[in-house]
């Protein structure tokens, strides 16, 4: 091969590497039907204000064929969920844990550093059990956000996901809770909101690679 050909191949290899980096690198492997998945959260995860079977974890299970365990407890904080997590992992042995917490911490004005520490310990615990974790961001309470239907999560979710090297679903919950048609009250999704959450979370898990 002449020097011009070698140079062209090197350029092509560099282009492929840059393209892979721009696309975010490798994806997670798809989880087959029947896989146990734990949805760990508070009233945004539990069927609060909706009938059993209308909650987004159940709907996600129907879409994927996974066995999704609803580990949501209304009113729970990151500290409470951290305390519950070891028993849930032991009982269900999930392959994937969806961590959706922090909203009640913010409502109760728990210091952000404490919330981040608790979430980080949850992610570490999931990893130590050989499972994968995905972090879901919850919007921060905001009068302006509520008035203008434009809620957004605090930055610590993105920072923590980057630090722990776990995928982050950043916009699903804020997007649903910014739509008054998808809420049963000022804080919680209604049945249509849970259905929309199931769709958005499913789509993000597909981008991450867990859904084929």
**How many distinct structural domains can be found in the chain?**
1
pLDDT of residue 14: 45
- CATH number at 129 reads 3.40.50.1110
What backbone phi and psi angles, to 5 degrees, belong to 80?
A: -65, -40
Is residue 8 situated within a structural domain? no
Residue 24 lies in a domain: no
Question: Is there a catalytic annotation at residue 124?
Answer: no
74 is catalytic: no
Q: What residue ranges of the chain have pLDDT lower than 50? A: 13-24
- What pLDDT score does 133 carry? 98
User: For residue range 122-159, what is the model confidence (pLDDT) as tens digits?
Assistant: 999 999 999 999 999 999 987 555 555 789 999 999 99
Q: What is the pLDDT of residue 87?
A: 98
pTM for the full predicted model = 0.86
Strand 96-100 and strand 67-72: the pairing is unpaired
Q: Confirm whether 48 is domain-assigned.
A: yes
187 contacts 151 by C-beta, under 8 angstroms: no
Residue-wise pLDDT tens digits, 62-83: 999 999 999 999 999 999 999 9
Q: Which residues pair with 191 in a beta bridge?
A: none
Query: 188, 194, 202, 204: which one is catalytic?
Result: 188
| 50 burial via Cβ count (<10 Å: 0-12, 13-18, 19+) | buried
């Amino acid at each position: 091969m002449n020097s011009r050909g070698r140079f062209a191949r090197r350029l092509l290899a560099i282009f492929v590497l840059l393209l892979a980096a721009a696309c975010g690198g490798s994806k997670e492997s798809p989880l087959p039907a029947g896989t146990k998945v734990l949805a760990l959260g508070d009233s945004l995860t539990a069927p609060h204000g909706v009938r059993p079977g209308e909650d987004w974890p159940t709907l996600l299970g129907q879409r994927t064929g996974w066995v999704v365990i609803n580990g949501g407890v209304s009113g729970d904080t990151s500290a409470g969920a951290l305390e519950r997590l070891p028993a849930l992992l032991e009982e269900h042995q999930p392959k994937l844990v969806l961590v959706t917490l922090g909203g009640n911490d913010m409502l109760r004005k728990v210091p952000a550093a404490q919330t981040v520490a608790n979430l980080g310990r949850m992610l570490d615990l999931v990893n130590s059990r050989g499972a994968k974790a995905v972090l879901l961001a919850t919007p921060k309470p905001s009068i302006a956000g509520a008035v203008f239907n434009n809620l957004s999560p605090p930055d610590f979710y993105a920072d923590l996901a980057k630090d722990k090297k776990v995928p982050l679903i950043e916009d699903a919950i804020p997007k649903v809770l910014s739509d008054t048609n998808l809420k049963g009250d000022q804080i919680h999704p209604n049945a249509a909101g849970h259905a929309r959450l199931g769709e958005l979370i499913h789509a993000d898990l597909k981008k991450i690679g867990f859904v084929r």
